[in-house]
């Protein structure tokens, strides 16, 4: 791969949480080497948000403060000279179009790359797993509807279980077989074509090897799309 063929710097808005941000960085570079076999890795700039502050805005439904804080990170990445940005989490995509409109460089949507993948495989009905904020929002439903895909969250009781596993375990790097089995039991409760792992920590615990139900690993799809964009 000729260095001159690259688009340049990838900007990652991360820290939400650090566990998945680390995985984004690792995946992009490992995938590059597998494809190209050299060390002309794409340049990557990471701006790590304050996870608790970010989560507080979500919990309080303070959308003005939420957008303003996300934009602080976006502006920092822009000043660092990135060519495009990915927000390394699902939940900030609830305000993706506001952020995209205000940004001066392109943004790569985790929701769009997931919807495109599911549509290419003929999916029509998907279960959405994630934090409560994501499961109770409509941004996945709105985007996937344009691809002819219906997206539904699990029951309130199941949402509470999933949210607790994410915030009490996954974001701090705790991965247990008990929690994996809880998630698999939840998935088996629904008749769907597939499952959106709509929190970038969920693929750290669940993989396709764990179930015959198609899983859409949003972290991997997003990171791979970022590499493809960087390589033009």
pLDDT given for residue 4 in this prediction: 44
What are the backbone dihedrals phi and psi of residue 127, each rounded to the nearest 5 degrees, phi first? Answer: -95, 135
pLDDT given for residue 7 in this prediction: 63
Under CATH, which architecture does the 111-217 domain have?
A: 3-Layer(aba) Sandwich (3.40)
What are the backbone dihedrals phi and psi of residue 231, each rounded to the nearest 5 degrees, phi first? Answer: -90, -5
pLDDT in tens, the chain (232 residues): 344 455 689 999 999 999 999 999 999 999 999 999 999 999 999 999 999 999 999 999 999 999 999 999 999 999 999 999 999 999 999 999 999 999 999 999 999 999 999 999 999 999 999 999 999 999 999 999 999 999 999 999 999 999 999 999 999 999 999 999 999 999 999 999 999 999 999 999 999 999 999 999 999 999 999 999 999 8
Q: What angle do CA 23, 212, 218 make, to 5 degrees?
A: 30
CA 219/CA 204 separation, integer angstroms: 9
What are the backbone dihedrals phi and psi of residue 61, each rounded to the nearest 5 degrees, phi first? Answer: 55, 35
Q: State the distance between the two ends of the chain, measured CA to CA, in whole angstroms.
A: 12
Answer CATH for 3-109+221-230 from 3.40.50.1860, 3.30.460.10, 3.40.50.720, 3.30.420.40? 3.40.50.1860
pLDDT given for residue 5 in this prediction: 55
Q: Which residues contact 217 (CB under 8 A, 6 or more apart)?
A: 197, 203, 207, 208
Residues 52-79: b if buried by 16+ CB within 10 A, e if exposed: eebbebbeeeeeeebbebbbebbeebbe
CA 97/CA 93 separation, integer angstroms: 8
pLDDT given for residue 98 in this prediction: 98
| Tokens (6 digits) for 214 | 């198609």
Q: In terms of Cα–Cα distance, which of 77, 72, 70 is closest to 93? A: 70
Whether the model pTM is above 0.85: yes
Q: Could you list the beta-strand ranges (E) of 75-179.
A: 84-87, 125-129, 150-152
Looking at the chain, the domain(s) classified CATH 3.40.50.1860 span 3-109+221-230, 111-217
CA 225/CA 219 separation, integer angstroms: 10
| Residue 12 CB-density burial (10 A; 0-12 exposed, 13-18 middle, 19+ buried) | buried
């Amino acid at each position: 791969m000729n260095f001159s063929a690259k688009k340049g710097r990838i900007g990652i808005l991360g820290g939400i949480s650090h566990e998945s941000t680390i995985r984004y960085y690792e995946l992009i570079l490992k995938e590059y080497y597998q494809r190209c076999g050299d060390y002309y890795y794409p340049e990557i700039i990471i701006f790590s948000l304050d996870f608790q502050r970010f989560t507080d805005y979500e919990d309080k439904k303070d959308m003005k403060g939420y957008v303003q804080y996300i934009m602080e990170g976006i502006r920092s990445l822009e000043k660092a000279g990135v060519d495009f940005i990915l927000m390394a989490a699902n939940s900030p995509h609830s305000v993706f179009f506001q952020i995209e409109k205000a940004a001066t460089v392109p943004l790569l949507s985790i929701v769009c790359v997931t919807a495109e993948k599911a549509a290419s495989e003929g999916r029509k009905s998907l279960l959405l797993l994630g934090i409560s904020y994501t499961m109770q929002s409509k941004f996945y439903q709105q985007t996937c509807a344009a691809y002819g895909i219906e997206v539904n969250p699990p029951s309130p009781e199941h949402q509470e279980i999933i949210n607790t596993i994410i915030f009490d375990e996954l974001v701090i790097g705790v991965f247990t077989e008990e929690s994996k089995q809880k998630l698999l039991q939840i998935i088996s409760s629904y008749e769907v074509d597939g499952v959106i792992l709509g929190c970038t920590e969920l693929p750290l615990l669940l993989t396709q090897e764990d179930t015959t139900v198609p899983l859409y690993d949003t972290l991997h799809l997003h990171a791979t799309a970022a590499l493809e964009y960087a390589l033009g």
